[in-house]
Structure 1
């Protein structure tokens, strides 16, 4: 779990019921074309769900972590 995801889980305040704290789940997806063919997953998101009512919000990890497209592409190539 990334540092941004851990921070989201701790600081999340549900916009529906106001409960603080949530559970997170990360998801990586491939795009179309060559990234799909090579199974590169440059798109990374985290879902934060309220522990009280289940309301879920989606966050783009690349934006939260301040990554650029080239860095994300290189990470996808050289990381597990």
Structure 2
């Protein structure tokens, strides 16, 4: 697999930080505090420009998040 190089579309920097976060989606999920939307973030280390990429979740992981209070 070829390695991808990152270039910030704003300042053309090649260094980045990667992280992830979860969010709720829809009224039912909000009522039960289920975070069923997962995203990966890529942030430029120079200017802070951040891109979000949706990560697919499985029903099993959503149920497990609900049961353990994720």
Question: What TM-score does the superposition give when structure 1 sets the normalisation length?
Answer: 0.61
Which stretches in structure 1 are left out of the alignment for 5+ residues? 1-9
Q: Deviation per CA, 1:32-60: give whole Å up to 9, x if none.
A: 22211221111111221101121111111
Structure 1 stretches of at least 4 aligned residues deviating more than 4 Å after TM superposition: none
Give the structure 2 partner of residue 59 of structure 1: 53
Q: How far has the Cα of 1:12 moved from its partner?
A: 3.0
Matched, 1:76 2:62: yes
Q: Please give the alpha-carbon distance, in whole angstroms, between the structure 1 residues aligned to 2:48 and 2:27.
A: 35
Q: Higher relative contact order by CA 8 Å / sep ≥ 6: 1 or 2?
A: 2
**Alpha-carbon separation, structure 1, partners of 2:6 and 2:55:** 15
Q: Would you say the 8 A contact 1:16–1:55 is kept in 2?
A: yes
Larger strand percent: 2
Shift of 1:11: 4.3
RMSD after superposition = 2.2
Aligned residues: 63
